[in-house]
Amino acid sequence: MQSSRARVIIMNAALGPLDYRVPHGMTVGPGSIVVAPLGPRQLLGVVWEADRLPTEEVGDNRLRNLIGVMDAPPISAPLRRLIEWTADYYLAAPASVLRMALASTSALEGARTTLEYRATGEVPQRLTPQREQALERIGERQGSIRELAAMAEVSDAVLRGLVKTGAIESVEVDLDAPFPIPVADFAPPELALRQAEVAGVLRDAVAEHAFRPFLLDGVTGSGKTEVYFEAVAEAIRARRQTLVLLPEIALTQPFLARFAKRFGCEPVAWHSDLRQSQRRRAWRAISSGEALVTVGARSALFLPYANLGCIIVDEAHETSFKQEEGVHYHARDVAVMRGLFEKCPVVLASATPAIETRHQVELGRYTELKLPGRFGKAELPTLEAIDMISDPPERGRWIAPKLVKAIDATLERKEQVLLFLNRRGYAPLTLCRNCGHRFQCPNCTAWMVEHRLTSRLACHHCGHTMPTPRICPECREEDTLVACGPGVERIADEAAALWPEARTAIVTSDTLWSPARAAEFVRRMEAGEIDIVIGTQLVTKGYHFPNLTLVGVIDADLGLEGGDLRAAEKTFQQIMQVSGRAGRGEKPGTVYIQTHSKDAPVMQALVTGDAESFYAAETDARRDADAPPFGRYAAIIVSSEDKEAAQLTATAIARAAPDIADMMVFGPAPAPLAMLRGRHRFRLLVHARRALAVQDVIRDWIGALNWSPKVRVAVDVDPYSF
């Protein structure tokens, strides 16, 4: 009897599919989530169609029995196809992709309830410094002992001690507590004519339940969110699930609030900041189909939705949709594939679509839906360049006189200002004025960035920090360290010196690291408690502050350095995005762009508003270079703590490269971050014609080689920056 055997993808990326015997009385089929033995261990796995995963046949007598089947719906056929496609396209192990679908194994445990802990407000008699720190940091938050201990940076034992004293109590959390159900017609907006047309197209597509990719292309403030909410409403009416992907978890909080206004309750949120119990509850509701709308970061893409009816990718051009670790996938592209397999529409919403996405429209694969103007009385802001060569700031300052004047006038009118600089910390480089010593990260090829708020130097790549020294470690002189160049903290200092009365706020991942922090920032902005925001890209997206009328881009040239293929495109998107924060209400907005390259095509496009010619020129340049979306790149990154081993392997891979007319291999060369987290990195860049199935070539080529276990080889198909 053939059904007594099952082919299983086991949760171990190093292993291929394995066959098991299905014991008497156990029923499994494709998609079943099972527990299987592996050596002395028990691992989760998923049963797969044997004919789709060829492997060496093992004789019946050598098969081991499956141990059990999880009490969860099987992984559906559309998701199985998506997992196969992703593993194939991005050259990843199916198990690594599957891991994202199962999210966390504990989500599968049968328990209906779990215990969490929170402070009672009682102060223990013996208040050690550790206990004090724990209670202070935990505040009103709740979580498992381990989560609270991590949050408070104390040991589990400290917390258990606090439980004994009664300062912390346990609460039972119902893991099956139902989520509220969004109401399609709770508070529908009155749509403008063009908005209504576009919403109608999206509604029909959802009702049809067929794969249709859309580019929802509208300037910032045109009502894209309002319009795609109509697609969500239609899916709710049909009792099918919607997934809304957002680029940053900092954006979820305002989104949740806005969603609740429209649909009467919040959607289910999925992001890395969830507690274990929240994760478990959300996973179960998503896999049962009970969670009608899920909003999440890219990791929400692979969850086992029971009946997906609509996928939205908001701010679809955002680079954070590209995952750079583990499975190197692009969530925007995988979202479209998921729509294909699930047979549902996919809406990519953006004010500045990526050239790749526009190209799909030109090829007729995606339908473009345009919202040309801002909604209501709001006008698009005017953009003006400030030439930092002819109109420079005073010595030691970074805000040019013209922008200073504009800020004066804006504050005078009691309106809000946003100063944008995509650099965290105080200064990007610290050096000794006496001996020239520069502070470099011991683990990475990167300078340490000074953070004055915490009095530390930090590496923005690996997170390594150290107290800012007063004495140069090289020449031993005291107080000789100087900060070079500006970061947001330095701009905040300058603003405080120029406008001592103004209330400033710094918005970066250092200050807005949780959804609660983000919500608090929004509240203060809306209440008018902030006059000047100084922020990184984190503040450029999604927010809607009607009283914010002036945006100053401190260094528009920042992204143009380095000769990246996408440098001009990214600069354009980022400045358009931050400009979009200005003048969203009834008052008009103005944007000043400080630049040293006023005549660069991207600056010209920004000030003239002629996006079309800019995109056309960029697209032509890509076509000429046979760069994406025309040709294709793949990067092969070879890394090791042992530099020589990495280099040897990289060279061996380059030597073994097959000689194929449609493919060129460059390198190996030190990767852009030649050392990262203590690992030396070498890179080969593969350039291939579109027609070539380059993944198959790379699989055969690299698959035939062996290397030392000290060396890691990762392939990044469609790498984002190089």
Q: Is 464 in the site for Zn ion (CB under 5 A)?
A: yes
Tell me how far, at minimum, the Cβ of 560 lies from Zn ion, in Å.
24
Tell me whether residue 443 or residue 721 sits nearer to Zn ion (CB atom).
Answer: 443
Q: Which stretch binds Zn ion (CB under 5 A): 74-82, 311-319, 437-445, 553-561?
A: 437-445
Tell me whether residue 220 or residue 252 sits nearer to ligand ADP (CB atom).
Answer: 220
Query: Binding partner of residue 343 among ligand ADP, Zn ion, none, CB under 5 to 8 Å per kind?
Result: none
Rounded Cα–Cα distance for residues 285 and 198 (Å): 31
Rounded Cα–Cα distance for residues 376 and 212 (Å): 29
Query: Binding partner of residue 21 among ligand ADP, Zn ion, none, CB under 5 to 8 Å per kind?
Result: none
265 is in an annotated binding site: no
Positions that interact with ligand ADP (CB under 6 A): 189-192, 195, 218, 220-226, 375, 544
Rounded Cα–Cα distance for residues 609 and 622 (Å): 22
Query: Binding partner of residue 361 among ligand ADP, Zn ion, none, CB under 5 to 8 Å per kind?
Result: none
Rounded Cα–Cα distance for residues 436 and 375 (Å): 54
Tell me how far, at minimum, the Cβ of 372 lies from ligand ADP, in Å.
11
Q: Is 97 in the site for Zn ion (CB under 5 A)?
A: no
Which 590-649 residues touch Zn ion, going by CB under 5 A?
none
Please, where are the H alpha helices in 580-630?
601-608, 611-624
Contacts of 121 (CB under 8 A, 6+ apart): none
Tell me how far, at minimum, the Cβ of 248 lies from ligand ADP, in Å.
15
Query: In this structure, are residues 602 and 572 in contact, taking their beta carbons and an 8 Å threshold?
Result: yes
Tell me how far, at minimum, the Cβ of 689 lies from ligand ADP, in Å.
37
Q: Would you tell me how many other CB atoms lie within 10 Å of the CB of residue 197?
A: 13
Q: Which is nearest to 537 in space by CA: 507, 505, 572, 580?
A: 507
Q: Which is nearest to 226 in space by CA: 264, 198, 247, 205?
A: 198
Query: Binding partner of residue 585 among Zn ion, ligand ADP, none, CB under 5 to 8 Å per kind?
Result: none
Tell me how far, at minimum, the Cβ of 297 lies from ligand ADP, in Å.
18
Tell me whether residue 91 or residue 444 sits nearer to Zn ion (CB atom).
Answer: 444
DSSP state string for 535-578: E-GGGSSS---TTEEEEEES-TTGGGGGG-TTHHHHHHHHHHHH
Tell me whether residue 463 or residue 609 sits nearer to ligand ADP (CB atom).
Answer: 609
Rounded Cα–Cα distance for residues 102 and 672 (Å): 33
Among 168, 459, 495, 556, binds Zn ion (CB under 5 A): 459
Tell me how far, at minimum, the Cβ of 368 lies from ligand ADP, in Å.
15
Q: Which is nearest to 55 in space by CA: 30, 20, 92?
A: 20
Tell me how far, at minimum, the Cβ of 240 lies from Zn ion, in Å.
45
Among 461, 544, 643, 699, binds Zn ion (CB under 5 A): 461
Q: Which stretch binds Zn ion (CB under 5 A): 25-33, 257-265, 464-472, 632-640?
A: 464-472
Rounded Cα–Cα distance for residues 606 and 595 (Å): 12
Tell me how far, at minimum, the Cβ of 224 lies from ligand ADP, in Å.
3
Tell me whether residue 114 or residue 222 sits nearer to ligand ADP (CB atom).
Answer: 222
Tell me how far, at minimum, the Cβ of 375 lies from ligand ADP, in Å.
4
Half-sphere exposure of 120 (CA within 13 A, CB side): 14
Tell me how far, at minimum, the Cβ of 216 lies from ligand ADP, in Å.
8
Tell me whether residue 247 or residue 304 sits nearer to ligand ADP (CB atom).
Answer: 247
Tell me how far, at minimum, the Cβ of 369 lies from ligand ADP, in Å.
12
What's the Cα-to-Cα distance from 246 to each of 284, 330, 342, 347, rounded to whole Å? 21, 13, 20, 12
| Amino acid of residue 210 | A
Tokens coding 660: 């194929």
Contacts of 706 (CB under 8 A, 6+ apart): none
Tell me how far, at minimum, the Cβ of 150 lies from Zn ion, in Å.
22
What's the Cα-to-Cα distance from 260 to each of 256, 263, 347, 386, rounded to whole Å? 6, 5, 21, 41
Rounded Cα–Cα distance for residues 294 and 306 (Å): 12
Tell me whether residue 20 or residue 259 sits nearer to ligand ADP (CB atom).
Answer: 259
Tell me whether residue 290 or residue 324 sits nearer to Zn ion (CB atom).
Answer: 324
Tell me whether residue 274 or residue 459 sits nearer to Zn ion (CB atom).
Answer: 459
Tell me whether residue 225 or residue 640 sits nearer to ligand ADP (CB atom).
Answer: 225
Rounded Cα–Cα distance for residues 303 and 104 (Å): 11
Tokens coding 524: 């203060």
Give the CA-trace dihedral at 140, 145, 149, 151, to 10 degrees: -40
| Amino acid of residue 470 | R
Residues touching Zn ion, count (CB under 5 A) = 7
Tell me how far, at minimum, the Cβ of 466 lies from Zn ion, in Å.
11
Rounded Cα–Cα distance for residues 193 and 202 (Å): 15
Query: Binding partner of residue 461 among Zn ion, ligand ADP, none, CB under 5 to 8 Å per kind?
Result: Zn ion
Tell me whether residue 218 or residue 247 sits nearer to ligand ADP (CB atom).
Answer: 218
Query: In this structure, are residues 422 and 594 in contact, taking their beta carbons and an 8 Å threshold?
Result: no
Rounded Cα–Cα distance for residues 417 and 498 (Å): 14
Start-to-end CA span in the chain (Å): 54
444 is in an annotated binding site: yes
Q: Is 441 in the site for Zn ion (CB under 5 A)?
A: yes
472 is in an annotated binding site: yes
Tell me whether residue 5 or residue 544 sits nearer to ligand ADP (CB atom).
Answer: 544
Query: In this structure, are residues 235 and 303 in contact, taking their beta carbons and an 8 Å threshold?
Result: no
Rounded Cα–Cα distance for residues 272 and 13 (Å): 22
Among 36, 334, 462, 606, binds Zn ion (CB under 5 A): 462
Query: Binding partner of residue 221 among Zn ion, ligand ADP, none, CB under 5 to 8 Å per kind?
Result: ligand ADP
Q: Is 456 in the site for Zn ion (CB under 5 A)?
A: no
Length of the chain: 722
Query: Binding partner of residue 595 among Zn ion, ligand ADP, none, CB under 5 to 8 Å per kind?
Result: none
Pairing of strands 679-688, 632-640: antiparallel
Among 22, 300, 444, 506, binds Zn ion (CB under 5 A): 444
E strand or H helix at 348: strand 345-350
Look up tokens 């954006």; give the residue.
Answer: 251
Among 443, 445, 465, 647, binds Zn ion (CB under 5 A): 443
Query: Binding partner of residue 345 among Zn ion, ligand ADP, none, CB under 5 to 8 Å per kind?
Result: none
Tell me whether residue 458 or residue 663 sits nearer to Zn ion (CB atom).
Answer: 458
459 is in an annotated binding site: yes
Look up tokens 């009328």; give the residue.
Answer: 549
* Binding-site residue set: 432, 435, 441, 444, 459, 462, 472, 475
Contacting residues toward Zn ion, per CB under 5 A? 441, 443-444, 459, 461-462, 464
* Binding-site residue set for Zn(2+): 432, 435, 441, 444, 459, 462, 472, 475
